[in-house]
Amino acid sequence: MEKATFIGYVESIILPLFTGSTIAGEEESSARDSEVALGAGGTVLIKPSKNDEYRLILKRNLAFKTNEVALLKSIIAEISNVSNLGLLLVDKSYLSRLNMTAIEKAICEAVTETASQTLLNIVTLLDSYSSRTYEGKRIDFGIIINESIDIEEKKENLHYKKLFNSDFFAVLSNGVQSCVEFDKDGYFLGHMSLEKLRFRPTICSYDYISFARYCDSNRIGVVLDTNGDILIFKNRSMIYSKKRGVWNSYCHDEIITLLSNRTSQSMKEIRKSIYFTSLDVSFANTGGCLAYLNKLSTEQALSHIDLDDILTEKHFEMKRTQLAETTKKRGKNASIIDYANITYQEYVNNYEKPKTAALKQTIAGRKFHELNRKLREELASVDGATIVDYDGTIIACGAIVRIEAGSAGGGRLAATNTLAKYGVAVKISQDGIMQAFMADKKTKKVKEIFTVG
C-alpha cells in the first residue's frame, strides 16, 4: 500500500476512533518490526505491512492501552486484506464499502471474542434499518447479546435473521425503556423492561443510562436510535457509535483528562459533568456551547459576557466594576452608572430580566456538577453559551458571547474559540459533533484538543 493511501486511512478512519490522537511523525522500520507496537512515551507505532520501511507514530495525552493496541492490530490486518483485494477489483467504488466493513469487523472482534460474528451481522442489519420507517416513524431498537448464554435447542424461527424480517419486531424495543435479548449465536431469549434496574455507575448519553446498566461484562448492547445512529455498549459504558456513516470510539478517561486543561484547580466532578452534559447535548441534537474557565481567567472572560446574562451576585459585581472602569477611561456617562447603587437582586427583579430571574431560580444557588443531569442538558441547550467558573459556579446560561474581531467560522464556533482562551470550551453542533478547544500555553493560540461524533 502506498504511504499516502495509508496515511489517508489513518486520518479518516483510525484517528477518529482514538480521541485526541494525532500523527506525531514517523520512524524507520524493518521487516523484523510488527505492524502495530507500543512506542516510547505511551505512543503506538503502525505500518500497513511487515515489509514497509517506516512506521507512523500515533500520540495522545494518555498512553494507549493494551485493548486499543489489539483493536489497531485487527484494523490494520483488515485494511491490508481490503487493499490486496482492491488490486483485483475493476470497480474501485466497492473499496469504500469494503473499508467500512473491515472497520466494523475489527470493532466487533475487539468487543467480543465469542459473539463477534453475531454482533457484526446485527450491526449490518441495523445499518439497513436506519433509513426505514414503521407507520411513518423512524425505527429504533435496543438489542442485547448475552455472551454467557448458549441455547441448546436452536429454533430457527427465533433466530435474529427471521425476527428482523418480521414487521412486528420493529416496535418490540427501543433501548430506552426496553430491549430484546439474544444468546451469543443470535437466538432469541426474550424481552427485558429496563425501568427497575438497580443503580450502577454508567458512562453514556442520558437517554440510555438504564440500557447501559444492563450491559455488564457478559452483555453487549447495540442500539439503533431515531437519528439512524448505531451505538455499542459494554461494561456499562457506550464504547462505539456510528454517526453519519463514521465510527467513533469513546475514550471517556482521555476526554475527561483533556477537559482538565492541566490545571490543579480543576475538580474531577466538574470535568465529568462538563463531559457528560456535552455527551447528552450531542445525542439530543440541540447544539450547545460549554465553557469551563481557569481560576485566574474569570475577569477576562467576563469582558465577553453581557451584564444581563450573569446569574450570580459575585460575577455581577465583577462585571459592573469592569464596565465602570471602561466607561471612566472613555470619559462617558454611560447608563451603567445608573445601576451603581442597586443590588443584584433588584437589578434582576426590577429591570425586566425574566430569563435571568427564571434561570437563577432554577439553579437555586447550586453549582454545575450539583445539578440533576437532565437539567444540565436542558440548560446547556439554551441558545447561547453556558459558562462555568473554575469551582463549578454557573456564571451564565444562554449567554450571547461578544466575539473578537476577525473570528472565523459560524457564531457558535466563534464563541467557543473566544471562550477557549480562558479555559476549555466545547462546541456541540446540532448534528452531534463535539469539538473541544483550549489555548496553547506557549503560543496563546486556540487549538482543537479533540473531536468526537
Nearest to 424 by CA among 303, 262, 272: 262
Q: pLDDT at position 90, please?
A: 43
- Give 26-80 pLDDT, tens digit per residue: 999 999 999 999 888 889 999 998 899 999 999 987 788 887 888 888 888 887 7
Q: Are 431 and 412 in contact (CB under 8 A)?
A: no
Q: pLDDT at position 279, please?
A: 94
Confidence of residue 87 (pLDDT cuts 50, 70, 90): very low
The DSSP symbol for 197 reads: P
| Cβ contacts of 434 within 8 Å, gap of 6 or more | 278, 279, 282, 426, 427, 428, 450, 451, 452, 453
Q: How many beta carbons lie within 10 A of that of residue 331, not counting itself?
A: 6
Mean pLDDT lowest for which of 24-38, 73-87, 437-451? 73-87
- Give 139-172 pLDDT, tens digit per residue: 889 999 999 998 888 899 999 999 988 888 878 8
| Cβ contacts of 226 within 8 Å, gap of 6 or more | 137, 138, 139, 140
pLDDT higher for 325 or 35?
Answer: 35
- Give 228-261 pLDDT, tens digit per residue: 899 999 999 999 999 888 888 888 888 888 887 6
Please provide the DSSP assignment of 86-154 as one string.
HTT-S-TTHHHHHHHHHHHHHHHHHH-SSSHHHHHHHHHHHHHHTT-EETTEE--EEEEEETT---SS-
Confidence of residue 410 (pLDDT cuts 50, 70, 90): low
Instruction: Return the residue matching grid coordinates 478517561.
Output: 253
Surface-to-core class of residue 217, CB atoms within 10 Å of its CB (0-12 exposed, 13-18 middle, 19+ buried): exposed
CA distance 225 to 223: 6
Nearest to 383 by CA among 396, 397, 393, 373: 397
Q: Residue 374: pLDDT above 60?
A: yes
CA distance 203 to 221: 13
Q: Residue 337: pLDDT above 70?
A: no
Q: Residue 113: pLDDT above 70?
A: yes
Q: Residue 211: pLDDT above 90?
A: yes
Cell numbers for 183:
444468546
Q: Residue 89: pLDDT above 50?
A: no
Q: Is the dihedral of CA 370, 375, 378, 383 positive or negative?
A: negative
Give the bridge partners for 159, in sequence order: 187
